[in-house]
Chains A and B, each alone.
Chain A
Amino acid sequence: MPEEIRNEVMERQERSHEGKGKGRHGHHRHGKPQDSVKPGSLKYVWRSVSHNKGAVIGMILLALIVVLCLLSPIICRYGYAEMNIQDWYQTPNPNHLLGTDQMGRDLLSRVLYGARYTLIIGITATAMSAVLGILLGAVAGYFGGFVDSCVMRFLDLFQAFPTLVLAMAFCAVFGTGVDKCILALGITGIPGFARLMRANILRIANMEYIEAAKTINCPTWKTILKHIIPNSISPVIVEIAMTISRNGLTSSSLSFLGLGVQAPKPEWGAMLSEARSYIRDYPHMVIVPGIFIVITVLSFNLIGDAFRDALDPTLKD
């Protein structure tokens, strides 16, 4: 139930923030025109995020990884699967900047190529979770009643497992490979988005401005389009960033366990799984892929954190 708590906390903070607007210090009410941008609106969030040092670092790191990953066939002198037995077990040197592995494959090319797996799995699985989860949550929140309880009981099923075990269960059912891994992680991530969206809709539906929209006969579709979606999009962005980073960790864990992407492919977790046997003599083979996992996960975390800070300014300073 971490989502639930998170939502609750978010909700509370949002409320307290609104309270502050008209309450104690009350200065926001007649602040500069820029303060008229409603906290929580996309514009406000974006301005806050782009001024956040962490977010900027996160975005730079992410951009760096994406660019390097895309350019890897050009900048790397060796193919990611190219074996040079005479060059095996090399520690980092000018020829092989990050060294080579037990088959003489260049670690730099492998690590850069491997970014594709992490990014593709992380992003696609998250997209899948987001689309399905948001739909499910929106349906539950909008229709309420019986539909809502059905959806919630269904989601409770997911909550009966630790995330990693759930992902492992799906891997057991679907088998190994990139597509299976995406499927497993995608399904695992649904409840987070569904709960988030449901809580959002319930929260927003009870806001006075929605009532105000109803009283002036604003059609339902317009209410959804103009009020509900813009006001629930920022928490969804936070969840997306956080899910991508979590998926990065889980997918590499699965591959490490031999349940995700399988070994000859340069997925970082799979590379570490292989490198484990050589840790005693060639630690660079273990250190290098790990650093890349950390950087990738960190970049998404920083971005997600910045969005979260933007959502509850009370905790920022």
Chain B
Amino acid sequence: MQKNNDKPLFEVKNLTVEYHSGDAIIHAVSGVSFDLKPGETLGLVGETGAGKTTIARASLRILPEYSVERVDGEILYNGEDVLKMNDGQLRKLRGEHISMIFQDPMTALNPVKTVISQIAEGYREHHQCSAAEANQVAIKMLEMVGIVAQRANDYPHQFSGGMKQRVVIALALACSPKVLIADEPTTALDVTIQAQVLDLIKGLRDELGTAMILITHDLGIVADVCDKVCVIYAGRIVESGTKEDIFDHPTHPYTQGLFAALPDLEHNVRRLKPIEGLPPDPSEERRFCDFMDRCPHRCRECKGFDKNTMVEVSPGHYTRCWRTEGKEA
């Protein structure tokens, strides 16, 4: 693990993304900030629709252009703002410096191209080399993710879901990126395959020394893989800190709720405790804490809390809830 005083490699500052859907504006991500140091792994945790994927896509500027209304803030890679890059810089960034593993391996691969050509293509784009050389790299990558070279010339539809995800991983790592964004890499897979794929990602990360942003809704995966965690709720980070901070001292009621909803092997509980209610409508501008409606501790003072501030609970551990103010810090 790296020391904290390293300069961040990748930094997101005050990122805001809005979509339009019909007449409504969807506030997908509001004021999200985090940073990532070389070799570190950050987990973005949150439920479906919290805005995790939007953050990931914004980092590579691959948001669906036709529905994006506004992107604000800064996404800094080595101090350069991704959002202000021109096409050439952006192309150089994508794949070579930052690359992404997509959520659904079924649709992430081009059905009419062989897997080897899809991997080799990215490599050739960034390295001036012959097609044969790029193919060599592609085959090496495939072998690294556990696919035999004989299958390199097959088409995606000839692979199973787990195998496809391995191809997607090979594709993402082909140029040894500095930052890997893994967007729910195991969600679309069978439970039995999930562990394999996760171990593979973990192993490759350690081998290549890549910094990683892991997006997931599975706290178990976070515990397994990450150094730092940001818990996202309704497009905002509600709590962030080291893995230990979050797992041992969850302070935000939402994070606490997430842990309460997990089955516990040590205690015999009759029922798991779900978080009641639904996340708020993302098309509405909200004045109070996003979680207030569902919060078991809500009270009148919640209305007085400026939800744009985060409270530092302990050094590096922030939470977006006034209740912890001055308690532990």
Q: A residues within 8 Å of B by Cβ?
A: 22-32, 317
Cβ contacts under 8 Å, B282 to chain A: 27, 30-31
- B48-82 interface mask toward A, CB cutoff 8 Å, 1 = contact, 0 = none? 11000110000000000011000000000000000
- Closest CB-CB distance, B64 to chain A, in whole Å? 8
18 A-B pairs besides A25-B28, A30-B282, A31-B283 with CB distance below 8 A are A23-B103, A23-B104, A24-B103, A25-B19, A25-B49, A25-B67, A26-B48, A27-B19, A27-B26, A29-B49, A30-B49, A30-B280, A31-B281, A31-B282, A32-B24, A32-B281, A32-B283, A317-B66
Rounded to whole angstroms, the CA-CA distance of A92 and B229 in the bound complex is 78
Cβ contacts under 8 Å, B280 to chain A: 30
Rounded to whole angstroms, the CA-CA distance of A29 and B103 in the bound complex is 19
- B217-240 interface mask toward A, CB cutoff 8 Å, 1 = contact, 0 = none? 000000000000000000000000
Rounded to whole angstroms, the CA-CA distance of A106 and B161 in the bound complex is 70
Cβ contacts under 8 Å, B153 to chain A: none
- Closest CB-CB distance, B282 to chain A, in whole Å? 5
B24 touching A30 by the CB < 8 A rule?
no
A28 touching B21 by the CB < 8 A rule?
yes
Q: B residues within 8 Å of A by Cβ?
A: 19, 21, 24, 26, 28, 48-49, 53-54, 66-67, 103-104, 278-283
- Closest CB-CB distance, B112 to chain A, in whole Å? 16
Rounded to whole angstroms, the CA-CA distance of A24 and B24 in the bound complex is 18
* Max chain B Cβ within 10 angstroms of own Cβ: one of A23, A26, A27, A31: A27
Cβ contacts under 8 Å, A26 to chain B: 48-49
Given contacts A22-B48, A317-B67, contact A27 B28 (CB under 8 A): yes
Q: Which single residue of chain A is at the shortest CB-CB distance from B49? A: A26
Rounded to whole angstroms, the CA-CA distance of A30 and B49 in the bound complex is 9
Nearest 9 Cβ contacts at the A-B interface? A26-B49, A27-B282, A26-B48, A27-B26, A30-B278, A317-B66, A27-B49, A24-B53, A30-B279
Cβ contacts under 8 Å, A317 to chain B: 66-67
- Closest CB-CB distance, A73 to chain B, in whole Å? 45
Cβ contacts under 8 Å, A25 to chain B: 19, 26, 28, 49, 53-54, 67
Given contacts A22-B48, A25-B28, A317-B67, contact A30 B281 (CB under 8 A): yes
- Closest CB-CB distance, A127 to chain B, in whole Å? 33
Cβ contacts under 8 Å, A31 to chain B: 21, 24, 281-283
Rounded to whole angstroms, the CA-CA distance of A26 and B234 in the bound complex is 11
Cβ contacts under 8 Å, A22 to chain B: 48
- Closest CB-CB distance, B182 to chain A, in whole Å? 15
Q: List 26 A-B contacts (CB under 8 A).
A: A22-B48, A23-B104, A24-B53, A24-B103, A25-B26, A25-B28, A25-B49, A25-B53, A25-B54, A25-B67, A26-B48, A27-B19, A27-B21, A27-B28, A27-B49, A27-B282, A27-B283, A28-B21, A29-B48, A30-B49, A30-B278, A30-B280, A30-B281, A30-B282, A31-B283, A32-B281
Rounded to whole angstroms, the CA-CA distance of A1 and B56 in the bound complex is 41
Q: Which single residue of chain A is at the shortest CB-CB distance from B19? A: A25
Q: Which single residue of chain A is at the shortest CB-CB distance from B183? A: A24
Rounded to whole angstroms, the CA-CA distance of A26 and B279 in the bound complex is 12
Cβ contacts under 8 Å, B24 to chain A: 31-32
Rounded to whole angstroms, the CA-CA distance of A221 and B42 in the bound complex is 54
Rounded to whole angstroms, the CA-CA distance of A25 and B26 in the bound complex is 10
Rounded to whole angstroms, the CA-CA distance of A29 and B28 in the bound complex is 13
Cβ contacts under 8 Å, B21 to chain A: 27-28, 31
- Closest CB-CB distance, A55 to chain B, in whole Å? 16
- Closest CB-CB distance, B175 to chain A, in whole Å? 25
- Closest CB-CB distance, A69 to chain B, in whole Å? 36
- Closest CB-CB distance, A314 to chain B, in whole Å? 9
Rounded to whole angstroms, the CA-CA distance of A32 and B21 in the bound complex is 11
- Closest CB-CB distance, B55 to chain A, in whole Å? 12
- Closest CB-CB distance, B91 to chain A, in whole Å? 23
Q: Which single residue of chain B is at the shortest CB-CB distance from A16? A: B107
Rounded to whole angstroms, the CA-CA distance of A32 and B23 in the bound complex is 11
Rounded to whole angstroms, the CA-CA distance of A25 and B56 in the bound complex is 12
Rounded to whole angstroms, the CA-CA distance of A208 and B66 in the bound complex is 31
Cβ contacts under 8 Å, A24 to chain B: 53, 103
Q: Which single residue of chain A is at the shortest CB-CB distance from B23? A: A51
Cβ contacts under 8 Å, B103 to chain A: 23-24
Cβ contacts under 8 Å, A30 to chain B: 49, 278-282
Cβ contacts under 8 Å, A23 to chain B: 103-104
Rounded to whole angstroms, the CA-CA distance of A13 and B275 in the bound complex is 34
- Closest CB-CB distance, A135 to chain B, in whole Å? 36
Rounded to whole angstroms, the CA-CA distance of A32 and B283 in the bound complex is 8
Q: Which single residue of chain A is at the shortest CB-CB distance from B24? A: A32
Cβ contacts under 8 Å, B278 to chain A: 30
Cβ contacts under 8 Å, B48 to chain A: 22, 26, 29
Rounded to whole angstroms, the CA-CA distance of A307 and B26 in the bound complex is 25
- Closest CB-CB distance, A19 to chain B, in whole Å? 9
Rounded to whole angstroms, the CA-CA distance of A251 and B253 in the bound complex is 69
Rounded to whole angstroms, the CA-CA distance of A317 and B281 in the bound complex is 23
Q: Which single residue of chain A is at the shortest CB-CB distance from B104? A: A23
Rounded to whole angstroms, the CA-CA distance of A26 and B19 in the bound complex is 12
Cβ contacts under 8 Å, B28 to chain A: 25, 27
Cβ contacts under 8 Å, B26 to chain A: 25, 27
* Max chain A Cβ within 10 angstroms of own Cβ: one of B24, B282, B283: B282
